[in-house]
Homo-oligomer: A and B are copies of this chain.
Amino acid sequence: MLSKNRPVDSRRSVLLPDGTVAPGAKSRMEEEFLLEALRWMMKSRLYDQRVIALQRQGEFGVYSPGMGQEASIIGSAMAVDPARDWMVPQYRELMATVHHGLPLEVITAQYLGKIGPARIPDGVRVLPTQVSIAAQLPHATGLAWGLRLRGEDSVVIAYIGDGGSSEGDFHEALNLAGVVKAPIVFFLQNNQWAISTSRRVQSATRSFALRAAGYGLEGAEVDGNDVMAVFDVTSEAIARARSGGGPTLIEAVTYRMGFHNTTDNPSRYQDPKEYEEARSRDPIERVQKYLAALGLWDAKREAALTEELRDENERALQLARSASVPRPEDVFANVYQDPPPRLVRQKAELLDGHDA
C-alpha cells in the first residue's frame, strides 16, 4: 500500500517568525534584494489598507486583500523575469502582477470599473485576474506549452489557492502540463481559507504538494510567510522549467490575515485564537526584524518608506480615478473583432434609447 501517511519532504524555510535564520539555512536572496522585497511587501500591505478604506466609502469594487500573504506574493514574483516570463494570476496576487510590470494605476482602474484605462498594456506579460476559480490554470498550461512550441525561453508562473486546488481544472491543467512538458510553475497559496471554508475540509491530503507526483511533476512545500524561502524554491522551479526540466507544483503555506473580500465577515467562522497565532508569523515583521538585526532597518527608515509608498500608491489611485469613465456603448466593446450586424443594431438601439 502507498500509505497516506508517508512523510512529506520537509517544508522549506529560511527566515523564522522571530526574524532569525533557521539553523544551517541559506538563501539566494542577498540583503539588498531583501530590502527590495520588503519594499514590495509593504507596498502591498499599504495598498490593501488604503483601498479597503476606499471600498468602505463605496468607491472601490469588491476587493480581496493579500494581507498576510505578502511573502508568497512578492517572493514568487521576484523569481520570474518580467521581460520574458508570463504571469497568470487568480485575483489575490495583485502586487505580484504589478511587480511583473502591470502599472498599479491600470489594475486599480479595473477595480474602479474603468474599461480602456484598465487594459493590460501591450508588452506586459500578465493575463487578466480570474474570478472563475481555477479556470486560469488550463490557460496557463496552454500558454506555457505554446511558448515552448514557439521556441521562446519563457516560463509561466500560475497562481491558485487552496480552494481552487479542488476544482477539476486544477487536475486537468497539471496533468496536461506534465504530459506536454510545459515550462510552468504552479504556485499554490494555501492561505487556509476558501472564503469561510477551512483548509481542513478542503482536502484530506496532508499536503497539496503531494499531488505533484500524481502528474509526474516536481513538488515542493515552502513556508509561505518566509520571503527568502519562497524566492529560493520558486527560483529553482523556474530555472528547472526554463531548462526543459518540466513543471513544478509549489505549495506555499501561509495564512489569510484579512477577510476573503470586502463583502466578507470572518467573525462568523474564524477562531480569533487562530488568527492571533497567524499574526505572530507575519511575513513582513520577520523581514524587518532580520534587517534590523543587521542594522539595515529601524523606525525612521520604516516611517520614510511608508510615506514614500503611500505616495506612490496614492499617485496610482489618482491616475486611475482621473482616467476616462466607461460610456454606455462600452457594453459592446471587445466582444468580437468585427461586431455582427445584430450587435451593431443593438448598439444603435442602446444609443438611441430604443430597444430591439
Q: Name A's B-contacting residues (CB within 8 A).
A: 1-4, 6, 8-9, 166-172, 175, 178-179, 181, 201-206, 208-221, 236, 246
Residues B213 and A2 in contact, CB atoms below 8 Å apart? yes
Closest Cβ–Cβ distance, residue A211 to chain B (whole Å): 3
**Nearest-CB residue, chain B, relative to A181:** B204
Given contacts A6-B213, A210-B214, A211-B214, contact A168 B172 (CB under 8 A): yes
Residues A219 and B1 in contact, CB atoms below 8 Å apart? yes
Residues B210 and A205 in contact, CB atoms below 8 Å apart? no
Across-interface contacts of A167 in B (CB, < 8 A): 168, 172
Closest Cβ–Cβ distance, residue A248 to chain B (whole Å): 8
Closest Cβ–Cβ distance, residue A132 to chain B (whole Å): 14
**Nearest-CB residue, chain B, relative to A9:** B2
- Choose one: B2, B8, B211, B236; the contact of A8 (CB below 8 Å): B2
- Choose one: B2, B166, B221; the contact of A219 (CB below 8 Å): B2
**Nearest-CB residue, chain B, relative to A233:** B1
Closest Cβ–Cβ distance, residue A264 to chain B (whole Å): 22
Across-interface contacts of A166 in B (CB, < 8 A): 171-172, 175
- Integer count of this chain's copies in the complex: 2
Across-interface contacts of A213 in B (CB, < 8 A): 2, 4, 6, 205-206, 210-211, 213-214
- Choose one: B8, B171, B181, B210; the contact of A168 (CB below 8 Å): B171
Residues B202 and A206 in contact, CB atoms below 8 Å apart? no
Across-interface contacts of A181 in B (CB, < 8 A): 204
Closest Cβ–Cβ distance, residue A165 to chain B (whole Å): 8
Across-interface contacts of A3 in B (CB, < 8 A): 9, 218
Across-interface contacts of A217 in B (CB, < 8 A): 4, 204
**Once the chains are docked, how many angstroms separate the CA of A2 from the CA of B7?**
10
Residues B218 and A1 in contact, CB atoms below 8 Å apart? yes
**Once the chains are docked, how many angstroms separate the CA of A282 from the CA of B125?**
53
**Once the chains are docked, how many angstroms separate the CA of A214 from the CA of B213?**
9
Residues B214 and A205 in contact, CB atoms below 8 Å apart? yes
Residues A4 and B219 in contact, CB atoms below 8 Å apart? yes
- Choose one: B169, B208, B216; the contact of A214 (CB below 8 Å): B208
Which 7 A-B pairs rank lowest in CB-CB distance, beginning with the nearest?
A: A168-B168, A204-B216, A178-B204, A171-B171, A211-B214, A2-B219, A210-B213
**Once the chains are docked, how many angstroms separate the CA of A211 from the CA of B216?**
10
Across-interface contacts of A4 in B (CB, < 8 A): 212-213, 216-219
Residues B218 and A203 in contact, CB atoms below 8 Å apart? no
Name 20 A/B residue pairs within 8 A (Cβ), A-sorted. A1-B236, A2-B8, A2-B9, A2-B221, A4-B213, A4-B216, A4-B217, A4-B218, A166-B175, A168-B171, A170-B171, A175-B203, A175-B205, A178-B204, A179-B202, A179-B204, A208-B214, A210-B214, A211-B213, A214-B214
Closest Cβ–Cβ distance, residue A97 to chain B (whole Å): 26
Across-interface contacts of A216 in B (CB, < 8 A): 4, 203-206
Across-interface contacts of A2 in B (CB, < 8 A): 8-9, 209-210, 212-213, 218-221
**Once the chains are docked, how many angstroms separate the CA of A213 from the CA of B3?**
7
Across-interface contacts of A210 in B (CB, < 8 A): 2, 213-214
Across-interface contacts of A201 in B (CB, < 8 A): 179
Across-interface contacts of A221 in B (CB, < 8 A): 2
- Choose one: B1, B168, B208; the contact of A9 (CB below 8 Å): B1
Closest Cβ–Cβ distance, residue A119 to chain B (whole Å): 31
Closest Cβ–Cβ distance, residue A329 to chain B (whole Å): 38
